[in-house]
Amino acid sequence: MKNHPHDAQPSDPELLPADSIEVRHSKDSSSLHALAAIPAGANILQLEGDVSATRTRHSVQIGEGLYIDAPAREGARELARELAHEIAHELAHKTPFTSYRFRALNHACDPNARFVGRVLQARRDIAVGQEIFFDYTTTELSMVHPFRCTCAAANCIGMVQGFAYLSTTQQRERSSDLQPHLLRLISLQP
C-alpha cells in the first residue's frame, strides 16, 4: 500500500523485532542496548504511553508543552525496581518487559539514534551490545532533571538542561535531528 501523501509520520512504522534491544539495569540507572546489529535508518522503537503536560525524569517532549511517559503505575513499578534492585534484576530476567523501553534511553551529545516523531531511529550502524543513546536536547526544551554529561564526545555540551539552554550555534548544529516543536524555534531566530 502506498503511503498517503499527508502521512509525514506513518502511525505504524515498521519497527525492529522487540528482541533486537534490551534494557539493562545497574545499581543507579538503566540503559538500552542492541542485541542485534542495527543498521543506520532502522526504526528501533516507538514512544508509547500517556501524553500530558507533566514533565518527568523519563518523559520525552513530543510537542509544545506535551510530554509522553508510561502511565503512572509503570512509574511506581520503576521506583520499586530502583528501591529493590536485586529483586528487580531477578524479575527483569523472568519477565522481560517490552513496553516503555524508551525510559531507559540515556543521553549522548553525538548519539547513535534520534527521534523522528515518536519513532527512535538509528543515526548510524549500531553494533551488537552497544548502548543506544539519543540527544535529549533534540526533544526537550527545558528539562526537569538537568545533569552533567560525561559522554566525552568532541561536541559534548556539559550541562544538559534542554534545547533552550544551548547556544544558537549548538541549536543550529542539531537542526537535522530536531523534533518539529524545537525546529520551529530555530526558524523564528533572526
Identify which range of 32-40, 66-74, 101-109, 115-123 contacts Zn ion by CB under 5 A.
101-109
* Secondary structure in 3-state letters for the chain: CCCCCCCCCCCCCCCCCHHHEEEEECCCCEEEEECCCECCCCEEEECCCEEECCCCCCCEEEECCEEEECCHHHHHHHHHHHHCHHHHHHHHHHCCCCCCHHHHCEECCCCCEEEECCEEEECCCECCCCECEECHHHCCCCCCCCEECCCCCCCCCCEECCHHHCCHHHHHHCHHHCCHHHHHHHHHCC
User: Binding marks (x or -) toward Zn ion, 116..155, rule CB under 5 A?
Assistant: ---------------------------------x-x----
Q: Which is nearer to Zn ion, 92 or 156 (CB)?
A: 156
- Stretch 159-188 residues interacting with Zn ion (CB under 5 A): none
Quick one: which of 45, 109, 119, 178 contacts Zn ion (CB under 5 A)?
109
Q: Which is nearer to Zn ion, 73 or 148 (CB)?
A: 148
Minimum distance of Zn ion from residue 22's CB (angstroms): 24
The residues that touch Zn ion, with contacts defined as CB under 5 A, are 109, 149, 151, 156
